[in-house]
Structure 1
Amino acid sequence: MSSERVSLPFKLYCLTVMTLVAATYNVVVRYTRIASAEIMYFSTTAVCMTEVIKLILSIGMLARESGTPSKLLADIKEQVLCNPGGLLKLSVPSVVYAVQNNMAFVALSNLDAAVYQVIYQLKIPCTALCMVIMLNRSLGKKQWFSICTLCVGVILVQFKPVEATKVKVEQNPFLGFMAIVVAVFCSGFAGVYFEKVLKSSDTSLWVRNIQMYLSGIACTLMGVLLNDGDKVIEHGFFYGYTPWVWFVVFMGSVGGLYTSIVVKYTDNIMKGFSAAAAIVLSTVASFFLFGLHITSTFLCGAILVCASIYLYGLPVSKECADTESKQKPITV
């Protein structure tokens, strides 16, 4: 089913869910990182549990696709367990995504959710650069202009940092900004690499997800041992977990899988509206929940970022489309 053949209500449904997931996830992560400085959960374990739930959900989707339990077991055995090459191939984005997810927690521990949501849109130029280099794609002048506009908007947001008056914990805005920089590079590379792997064969999306999440669980467990191993042994894996923390884990899991549905059934313009709307919702939520002081430079920067996201998603010129159609087959 292509994006043109689905109904407008379904597109609006996808837009609404994706927007709410993106905005809510960042705001709730921010809340859990500043709500209690005494009993703080380990972010590495939350990232690991997110991968576990993604794996369970992906197996469920593959079961629905397979039709019968015997076919499901055969698919897992043949395409996952007996395919070390596939697991190795998908271990690359799983490691990068593990770093990205951990950096998101570091960033949201030191920056407001609205600021994070704006700066994180740097993933657009990073992804574009990776697409040009790794997929040999061409971008139109309009897209390059939107990327420059986005960068100007991010600079304005960082020019005079905003403050959240209701936040009493110690923060390091520079550390938060550097964490976002690492996260956007990870997001751009891992997303394009995963797309390249998907287009190199007819293997099911859910099989690829299972391969990636199995590697991701191994990677995130290693992160738990290296960063919080002693503390986990002393306090337990689920130390500091509250219903809000479990909500973060659930939202992170569903959000990652739901994005693939949105990509499949909608288009770039809808995704652009979603990202821009998520920025607005995060800003409003931060104003009321955290007492975010919205400056004129932040407001101008956020508007520029929203406009650039919309502009980037507009259809490319005929010349760029013709160039992309003549590309060589993708191989990994």
Structure 2
Amino acid sequence: MAVENVSVVFKLYCLTVMTLVAATYIVTLRYTRTISTDLYFSTTAVCIAEVVKLILSLGMLSKETGSPTRLKNALVEHIFCSPKELLKLSVPSVVYAIQNNMAFVALSNLDAAVYQVTYQLKIPCTALCTVFMLNRSLGRMQWFSVFMLCVGVTLVQWKPVESTKVQVEQNPLFGFIAIAIAVLCSGFAGVYFEKVLKSSDTSLWVRNIQMYLSGIVVTLFGVYVNDREKIQEKGFFFGYTPLVCFVVFLASVGGLYTSVVVKYTDNIMKGFSAAAAIVLSTVASVIMFGLKITIPFASGALLVCVSIYLYGIPKQDTSKLSPKDKDEESKQRLITV
């Protein structure tokens, strides 16, 4: 999937929206989990987000097919007549469900800025999964940037920063464990989904629909197992406010918007987006949660931002490659999503 020739303005628009969505989602989720009296059930939020993603993907597939008849035929062929494909996509559905729930756990115990920096461990995790599952290789600069990123995250976690306005009890160690699980899930599920996409010419939106259908079933099971009794007592939408609905909306559009960014931008621009999201999350945390910036945190965050940039530098000049090699080089960009 090569990066298409589009205007710089459109690329900047895509990255600006992605940056704002990423930073706003993390900060808002953190706020709803720490500054709220009636705490909503995170399992229901994850489930609703899957439903919204499914609806949005159906809309995009409808636009892609161009007519109700073609949409119906695509759904019959790839959904109702392809149980094996649904089963295949149930694997990332389960993993993503775990990842999304871990994000709620992590942000209930860690500041948004700390989470944003630490979550960048998904880059080396995804890179390793790509090496083992897709038989790709990393350049020396990429391995060096992975090492630098790990050092940066270690500095951030060395002496946890404090937020003075948080109203709930927190467990930083528990939060870090949740991030570690989320990172592992992100790396494996992302590469697995990419491998499925490359195995056939099936539309991305069809694959998304297959995955989100499985995701709804999986997350509903999670709701039943974890919060069944509480939901029977208080209701499925207990604790939901306009701000919580906004969090669910951001969770829904964020993942879908990433596919647009992958299609129209490159790794370096996505690196700037990730770094900008870290900066925005830090500023917002200082203002909203009374975050106290420490030297280890600032140093670690800087190392992480630099490592993201270095990781995105192409290994070679693709303008001199054959069309086949260019295609392989463009696929390498996917591993930082």
Category of TM-score, reference length = shorter chain = over 0.9
Q: Are 2:48 and 1:22 aligned? A: no
Deviations 1:117-174 (A, max 9, x none): 0000000000000000000000000000000000000000011110001112100000
1:172 aligns with 2:182: no
| Partner Cα distance (2:53, 2:269) in 1 | 24
Distance 1:235 1:197 in 2: 40
Question: Does structure 2 conserve the Cα–Cα contact (< 8 Å) formed by 1:140 and 1:317?
Answer: no
Alpha-carbon distance, 1:278 to partner: 0.3
The residue aligned with 2:279 is 280
1:82-118 deviation line (CA, Å, top 9, x unaligned): 1001100000000000000000000000000000000
Matches within 5 A, 1:48-87: 48-87=47-86
Q: Is the CA contact (8 Å cut-off) linking 1:52 and 1:213 kept in structure 2?
A: yes
Which residue of structure 1 aligns with residue 193 of structure 2? 194
State the distance in 2 between where 1:92 and 1:63 align.
Answer: 25
Contact preservation (8 Å) 1:268, 1:314: yes
Counterpart of 2:218 in structure 1 is 219
Counterpart secondary structure, 2:315: coil
Who is 2:145 aligned against? 146
**What are the superposed Cα offsets for residues 57-92 of structure 1, whole Å, 9 maximum, x if unpaired?**
000000001111111111101111110011000000
- Contact preservation (8 Å) 2:4, 2:263: no
Q: Which runs of 4+ in 1 moved over 2 A?
A: 1-4, 324-327
Q: CA deviation at 1:2?
A: 4.6
Cα pair 1:93 1:212 within 8 Å, conserved = yes
Displacement of 1:234 in angstroms is: 1.2
Shift of 1:318: 6.4
What is the CA-CA distance between 1:3 and the residue it aligns to?
A: 2.6
Q: Within 1, Cα distance between the matches of 2:195 and 2:302?
A: 32
DSSP-derived class of the 2:108 partner:
helix
Count of residues in Structure 1 that have an aligned counterpart in Structure 2: 324
Cα contact 2:35–2:167 (8 A) shared by 1? no
TM-score for both structures, normalised by structure 1 = 0.95
What are structure 1's unaligned runs of at least 5 residues?
328-332
Q: Which amino acid aligns with 2:61?
A: L
Counterparts of residues 127-138 of structure 1 (less than 5 Å): 127-138=126-137
Alignment root-mean-square deviation, CA: 1.6
Opposite residue 8 of structure 2, the aligned amino acid is L
Show the counterpart of 1:204.
Answer: 203
**What is the SS of the residue equivalent to 1:171?**
coil
Distance 1:285 1:169 in 2: 19
Could you tell me the percent identity over the aligned residues?
A: 72
Does the Cα contact within 8 Å between 2:117 and 2:278 map onto a contact in 1? yes
CA distance in 1, matches of 2:69, 2:314: 44
- Contact 1:61 / 1:206 at 8 angstroms: preserved in 2? yes
